[in-house]
């Protein structure tokens, strides 16, 4: 084959007629057989059949390569909060603001204390008698949580698969006594002043997410000159025909 090509090049260089040489060259190329014994016709036939087969045979992917979409994942269960309002009528409005903030954070109100994951008492410190009633209420709560009476045993039985609720004190008394509420009888877990209600979801999580083997507390009693909760719509009971509003 190489000699045939050389003859073509030599002829072109010398100006000779190429018709006969081209015929000889084509004859030389067509008569040479590759080492595998296949001709050009065999190659074209095999290539054509492979192209037809690949076009007709769909490509199959393993099922393991696909994952179900995660958009339909079940939402996290909502927790229950019990709010005890004590003190002035202003505290009624504040408790509704607290419930609205916690509702947005995944909490629903429950009227049954023994079902609650979070127990909050909204306090007033304008009179000494009000504080004494609050201390008395907290003592009753401790008796419910840790007492040996029938009611306490029944309560613990209903909560066999649930941890102790987070107990928090809110409002004026919380702002005045601060850490004393956390240290007295080790019952209260969090303290939040009247300007820190937006921080309640974080405070609750700080207590709940702590290692269950040790006690955790959280507190925010920082006062604010700007916080009015004007953008928070109070969460009132269904069918309520009366409401208290802030005038300060």
pLDDT tens, residue by residue, 147-176: 766 666 666 666 655 678 999 999 999 999
**Could you read off the pLDDT of 218-233 as tens digits, one per residue?**
999 999 999 999 999 9
Closest C-alpha to 238, from 120, 96, 78: 96
Would the pTM of this model clear 0.75, i.e. be above it?
no
Distance of CA 223 to the CA centre of its chain: 31
Q: What percent of the chain has pLDDT over 70?
A: 59
d(CA 202, CA 168): 13
The pair of three-digit structure tokens given for residue 24, joined into one six-digit string:
């000889």
d(CA 228, CA 216): 29
d(CA 6, CA 31): 17
Average pLDDT over residues 72-98: 86
């Amino acid at each position: 084959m190489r000699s045939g090509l050389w003859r073509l090049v030599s002829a072109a260089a010398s100006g000779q007629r190429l018709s006969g040489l081209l015929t000889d060259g084509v004859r030389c190329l067509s008569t040479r057989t590759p080492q595998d014994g296949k001709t050009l016709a065999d190659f074209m036939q095999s290539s054509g059949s492979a192209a037809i087969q690949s076009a007709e045979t769909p490509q199959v992917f393993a099922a393991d390569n696909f994952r179900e979409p995660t958009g339909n994942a079940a939402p996290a269960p909502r927790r229950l909060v019990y709010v005890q309002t004590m003190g002035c009528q202003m505290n009624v409005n504040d408790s509704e603001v607290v419930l609205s903030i916690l509702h947005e954070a995944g909490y629903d109100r429950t009227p049954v204390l023994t079902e609650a994951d979070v127990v909050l008492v909204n306090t007033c410190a304008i009179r000494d008698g009000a504080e004494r009633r609050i201390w008395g209420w907290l003592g009753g709560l401790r008796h419910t949580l840790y007492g040996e009476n029938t009611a306490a045993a029944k309560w613990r039985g209903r909560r066999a698969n649930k941890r102790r609720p987070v107990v928090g004190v809110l409002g004026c008394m919380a702002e005045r006594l601060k850490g004393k509420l956390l240290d007295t009888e080790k019952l209260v877990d969090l303290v939040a002043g009247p300007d820190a209600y937006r921080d309640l979801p974080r405070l609750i999580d700080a207590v709940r997410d702590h290692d269950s083997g040790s006690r955790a507390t959280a507190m925010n009693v920082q006062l604010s000159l700007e916080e009015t909760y004007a953008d928070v719509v109070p969460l009132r009971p269904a069918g309520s025909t009366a409401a208290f509003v802030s005038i300060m």
